[in-house]
Structure formats: structure tokens, C-alpha cells
Amino acid sequence: MALSGAVVHRLFTALRLGISKGDIESSLTAHDLQGLSPLDQLKGLLNRFNIKGIKGGAVAWRRFDRRQLPALICFDGQWWLASNDGDDILLQSDEGQADRVVSSGDLSDVSVLWLKRMSTGQKTETDAPTARKLILSALFQDKAWLGNVMVATVIVNVLAIATSLFALQVYDRVVPTLAYSTLTTLVVCMMGIVLLDWLLKRTRAKVLDSLAADVDMRLSKQVFHHLLHLRLDNQPNSLGTLNAQVNGLESVRQFFTSGIVFGLIDLPFAIMFIGFISMIGGVVGWVYALLFPIAILLGLVTQFRLKSLIKKQIMRSNERQGLLIDVIRGSESIRANNAGWRFSNEWEQITQSLASYQLRQKTISQLSTATTGSLSTIAYVAAVVVGVFQVEAGNLTMGGMIACSILGGRVINPIAQGVQYLVQWQSVSQSLDMVDQLLSLELERKPDQHLLVGEQQIDAVSIDSVRFAYTDSPVKHLDIESLSFNAGDRVLLVGPIGCGKSTLLKVLAGLYRPGEGRVMLGSLDLWEIDPQFVTSHVSYLPQNVHLFKGTLKSNLALSGTVSDTEMMDVVKALGVDKIAQGNPKGMELEVSEGGEGLSGGQRQLVALSRTITAKPTIWLLDEPTASLDGDSEKRVWEVLEKYIKPTDILVVSTHRPMLAAHIANRVLVMQQGKVVRDGTPAAVLPALMGSKTSTSTSTRSAAATSSASASSATASSTATSTRSKRGFNAI
């Protein structure tokens, strides 16, 4: 069914896309959009109007996440704009036609076309911490240093005037009269001033270096703590980006621990030196007064030119970091599939663009540096020329002109450094923004939330109207109205790949927070309970096991709260001790990042040992035997039967339910994020196995039929079918 221009205009208006209704209607009737699927028509409209940063797709309403509304739906033979109206759905169509309000259940079988602006970055809440706030808070936690540094800085800059006064006295009084006693006195005074200047600068440097180290430690600790407590379902998809956000602190630390602090503190005193030049040389001071704002303006212009360039450079650098992590992790797959050329090309393209950005950045920076140096020379020459005329007029002595030249260097040098600091600040500012993006990500618990502590014994876990969808995804990966597990339950989760088993376990474990509904741990909402209490009762074994750099023993006792006796009992029961026996280092066998050096089955046994030694009340296991052979799998189920207490709750996701049926008293069958069947193993598994056999037979029959008729299908129909079923990203 063709799209209506009025309805599309309503959607574009809701997305704040300034396209008129007439332009949309005329475009929909254009020849190149005729006969296309509605999704491709939307894509064609966005391309025609050159609208970027929009993503979208088509999905059935029963799998659609209502938080992505407004969207277009096909209902009762026409297209409507659907939006939330409390618990119901408000449908709007052509102008002049009455709106309709329907329940979500009425739309279960309709199709949804959704569009959404791609987020350019995480929004920072008003009460969310920022890197700048954290730095300022750490800097001024103890304000005593500020007074000491300011006093030292004022004295250092005042003492700098002594050099020019020394030159003034020598040239005006010592040289004409050869008064060596006066010269000796002046030199002795200068030695004392130099010594005092050295001591003050050394003291100031020690204070600021100690402060910078303290600030860096506090800020790094707070950012890392924030990273550890992020909501896992809201983490950035790119590890390169996440790594860059954390490493942004390094450039900030280097910036504040370098000479910039002294440069910024000394910069305001340039105005004081201009005043002294005016006192000694009169109009000579105007030379520096006129060049001072020109140099500052040069720095600001350079900073503005570098702003977007550095931002692009950082983004591409993050992409390269992510690509590097991908290649290192997937090196085996790359070589096995002869795909090295593809990643090499991508690496070269990113490196080439980075080199281009860096070249442009250096060009701008070098131009700024050269221009500032030229201004310094111009200032010196102009001051000398003006000084000559002042000497001729009798308003300035030779010693005064030399003193002005010396003081002029104290004006120009801080300005030249200040321009460079403004350029450096642009990179630091982008790094701070990246840290801010990390700090703006939502935590698993709100910082000011009053957390509860549940009962000592957990006898039930329940789910009420839970909906879950990943960030920026319109598909509900979990859609469960009601589900409960009671003490003593031994539950098998079965279903096809992607049906939501792993997501359900992560929601039950408190790793993912549902967009709607509640997860109850006992009588309390799981997300209102202190995480320490949750982890003391709930243990989750992920499908993809991750081990950490260290030893076999350190990975077995990851929490550090397990006694060696308990650990070794479990290790022997599961057969993990054989890993240690096969290596001269025994339990001190070195393990690399991610568990490299151990097989998938060995990693799974190590992780299962950690779960058992945690002695949880609620066991959530995601494919605990997927990488094991038959004997090891049998041993795992026997060990679990031994260690799981009668009142514990066990929920296991598995694709081999028959092997675990003897320990289960309940089987849940999931499809498309829903629980479609819940019963005893005797009632569910035979029917499930029969269904799989029937499906396998029908699949083979369909494959044979498809093979026989494949030659009659045309390429155009295949392309049209494929195009109409897929979504699009970043149009």
C-alpha cells in the first residue's frame, strides 16, 4: 500500500524535519518512487531531500518497542501516524479525518515503519558530573595551595622587573662614570634576586606538580568507578570509543601537569609589564599595547579553525582503535577466511584520513607559531625605532630603551606561549568532552538513590510486564507479562537462537534494566536493592566466558572471598584440577587476557567453578555446557545437583534440554522474546522434540523444492524482496 503524503508529513514534523506537505506529496508521485515498498519510499524521500543522520526500518508491532514512537503503521487498510496516548495508541491520518484511539492488542499483526534521528552523543543530565566539574572540585578541595602559588607568582613577576632596572642603572649611571662600587652592589643584589627567584619557582613547581598528581589520582579513580557501575545495556557499542573516552584523561593530565599552568598564571602579568614599559619609555609602551590584542586574536582564530578538525581526527582515531581491537580479537577468523585484505584496506583508509587531518592541524599550528614569532620580532623592532625617536627627543635614555627591550620580552613570550596553549586547549577540550560522554552514561543505580536491603532468604523471583529493547533498537527483545520462579524451581530455558533466553537471564541478574515493568527479588524491586545484596544472592554465568590476565588460581578465586579448601573441592569435582596438573606451574598457570591459552571448555569450567563457590540462592546459567564434551557435561550436571541447595532457584538456558531434563522440574519455551509454553519436562520436552523433528523434515523438503524452482526466479524479484524486508541506517 502506497504511503500518504499527509501522514509522512506528520511523521517528518514530529522528527523536526522541515519539509513541506506539498513537496512530500509531489515526491511520492515521482516516477522513481512509484512501485517501491513503503520503506524504500521513505528512504527515497530522505535521499531526495538530502536528509542525513536518520535511521529506520520495518518491524511487526508485536516486536516493536513503543518508546520509539511516533511511527507509521498500516491499520484498517491505510497508513496512520501512531503515538503514545497513555496505555493506548493514538492514530492520526489525513487532515480532516478523525483521530482514533486503539489498544496495543488491536495492532498485534500490523506493520510498523519507524524513523529516528541518530544520536550525536550522549546527553548530559543537569545533575550529571562533568570532567570539568570534577577537576575544579579536586583542585579547590584544599584552597591553601592557591594562595601560596599566587603569592609566589606575584613575587616572581615583580622580581623580573629587577633585570630591566639593573640594565637601566648600568647603562645610565655605571657606564658613563665607571662607578664600579655601584656595579658591585647591583650585581650582589641581582644574585640575591636570582636566588630568591629560583627558590620561588622551584617551590611553586613542587606545589603544582603535587596538586596535579593528586587531582589525576582522584579523577582517574572516580571515572574508573563510574565505568565499573555503568548500565551494561547502555555501554557504547564500540570498544575503541569507550577506550578513548577513558584515555581522554591522559591528555588532560599532561596538559595540566605541563608548563601551561605557569604560562596561564604569568599571562595576566604581561599587562603589568606593559605598564612598566610605559612608565620608563612613555609611548614605547603603546607598541606592545597594540600588538597584545592582535596576538590574543591570533590564538582565538587558530583555536576556532582547529575545533572541527581535531574533533574529526579524534573520531577517526577512535575508529582505528576499535578496528585494531577487532583485528586482534578476531585474528584467527581473519586468517581462516582470507579476509586480511579487507581489514588492511580499512586500516589504510582510516590512517590516510588521520594523516590528512594531522597535516592540516600541523599546518595551522605552524602558521600560528610562525606568525606569533614574527609579531615578536615586529614588536621588538618597532619598540627600538620608537625608542630612538624618544632618545632624540630627550624623553628616554639609552639605559631606558634597553630596559624597555628587556621588559618587552616578558610581554611577548607569555603571549606567544598563550597562543600555543590556546591551540593545545582545543585537543584537551575534545578529550574532556569525551570523558563527559562517559560520565553522562546512566549508572546501574542513581547516585542519590536510597537503596534497600532485602530479606536474608530469597524464596521467589518474579517478572511483571517486562519489556526490554537495546538502545536505539525498535525491536522488543523481551516481552513478558508475568513470570515467577519459586524456591526449589529447576527451570530449563529452551528456544531457537535469538529468542531472548540470554536477555531474560541478564534481566533477572540485574545486568540489563528493562524499559518497562518490574523484576522482583523476593518482595522488593531488584533495581531498588543494593547491588551488593543482589550479587550475594544471585550468580550469573554468561554464555561467552571471559577470563582475566593473571593465574588460574586468581581467576578461580576472582572475588577473593573463597577459601582454598572450598575452591579445590569444586575444582576437583569439575575436573579443573587436570588443567593445573598438565602444566609445571600448577595453579599458578599464567592466563592471558580473555583466557587465551585455555580452550573454550576449560574457560567454561573455570567460570562455572566461580559460580559454584559463590554459593548463590539464585543460579542463572547461560549455556553452561555448550563447549563441553559428553563426559564433562555429565559431570557438570552431577556437580550442580550436589551443590545446589533444595531451596535454591536454578534457571538454565540450553540447546540440549534432554541431557539436563533429569534435574529439571519445569521447562520454559521462548520465541521472539515471549514465553510461549511453561510446563513440566514430561509434558513439554517430548512435544518440543517432536516439533523439532517435524521442522527438520519440512525444512529439508522445502530446501529440495526451493532448489528445483530456483532457476525460474529472476534477479529483480530477489532484489525487490530483499530490499523490502530490511531496514536502513544512517541515511
Alpha carbon of 23 to those of 5, 10, 19, 624: distances in Å? 9, 13, 7, 57
In this prediction, residue 537 carries a pLDDT of 84
In this prediction, residue 238 carries a pLDDT of 60
- Mention every residue, 6+ apart, whose C-beta is less than 8 A from residue 452: 524, 528, 529, 530
Residue type, 189: C
- 533 C-beta neighbours (distance < 10 Å), count: 19
State the Cα angle at 118 between 113 and 121, rounded to 5°. 155
In this prediction, residue 313 carries a pLDDT of 81
* Rg of the chain, C-alpha, whole Å: 36
- Segment 543-547 shows an average pLDDT of 85
- Is residue 128 within 8 Å of 439, Cβ to Cβ? yes
- Is residue 75 within 8 Å of 107, Cβ to Cβ? yes
In this prediction, residue 684 carries a pLDDT of 86
- Mention every residue, 6+ apart, whose C-beta is less than 8 A from residue 709: none
- Residue 376 clears pLDDT 70, i.e. is over it: yes
Per-chain mean pLDDT for the chain: 79
Domain boundaries in the chain? Answer: 5-117, 131-440, 460-679
* Range of weakest confidence among 20-24, 266-270, 298-302: 266-270
- Is residue 475 within 8 Å of 115, Cβ to Cβ? no
User: Measured between alpha carbons, how far is 365 from 299 in angstroms, rounded to an integer?
Assistant: 10
Please state whether the peptide bond connecting residue 129 to the residue before it is cis, i.e. omega within 30 degrees of 0.
Answer: no
Q: Give the dihedral sign, CA 714/720/726/727.
A: positive
- Segment 289-310 shows an average pLDDT of 80
In this prediction, residue 717 carries a pLDDT of 38
Domain 460-679: CATH class, spelled out: alpha beta
pLDDT in tens, 91-113: 888 766 778 888 876 776 788 88
- Residue 650 clears pLDDT 90, i.e. is over it: yes
- Homologous superfamily of the 5-117 domain (CATH): Cysteine proteinases (3.90.70.10)
pLDDT class of 692 with cuts at 50, 70, 90: low
In this prediction, residue 128 carries a pLDDT of 57
pLDDT class of 731 with cuts at 50, 70, 90: very low
Alpha carbon of 115 to those of 12, 56, 516: distances in Å? 9, 4, 21
Query: Which of 306, 316, 257 is closest to 420 using CA atoms?
Result: 306
In this prediction, residue 157 carries a pLDDT of 80
Helix, coil or strand: residue 646 = coil
pLDDT class of 618 with cuts at 50, 70, 90: very high
More confident residue, 426 or 631: 631
Query: Which of 35, 25, 49, 22 is closest to 115 using CA atoms?
Result: 49
pLDDT class of 713 with cuts at 50, 70, 90: very low
In this prediction, residue 265 carries a pLDDT of 67
CA-CA-CA-CA dihedral for 22, 27, 28, 31, to nearest 10:
140
- 184 C-beta neighbours (distance < 10 Å), count: 11
Which of the 8 DSSP states describes residue 477?
A: S
In this prediction, residue 659 carries a pLDDT of 83
In this prediction, residue 723 carries a pLDDT of 38
Written as nine digits, the cell of 731 is: 541515511
- Segment 245-269 shows an average pLDDT of 64
- Residue 655 clears pLDDT 80, i.e. is over it: yes
pLDDT in tens, 52-68: 777 777 777 766 777 77
Q: Percentage of residues in the chain with pLDDT exceeding 70?
A: 83
- 392 C-beta neighbours (distance < 10 Å), count: 9
- 377 C-beta neighbours (distance < 10 Å), count: 10
- Residue 390 clears pLDDT 50, i.e. is over it: yes
Which of the 8 DSSP states describes residue 275?
A: H
Written as nine digits, the cell of 305 is: 579553525
User: Measured between alpha carbons, how far is 92 from 541 in angstroms, rounded to an integer?
Assistant: 46
Q: Label residue 693 exposed, middle or buried (CB < 10 Å: 0-12, 13-18, 19+).
A: exposed
User: Measured between alpha carbons, how far is 506 from 500 in angstroms, rounded to an integer?
Assistant: 10
pLDDT class of 456 with cuts at 50, 70, 90: low
| Alpha helices in 173-283, H assignment, sequence order | 175-177, 180-228, 239-257, 260-266, 269-281
Written as nine digits, the cell of 270 is: 604581561
pLDDT in tens, 118-165: 654 444 344 556 777 777 777 777 777 777 777 887 888 888 888 888
- Residue 705 clears pLDDT 60, i.e. is over it: no
Overall fold of domain 131-440: ABC transporter transmembrane region fold (1.20.1560)
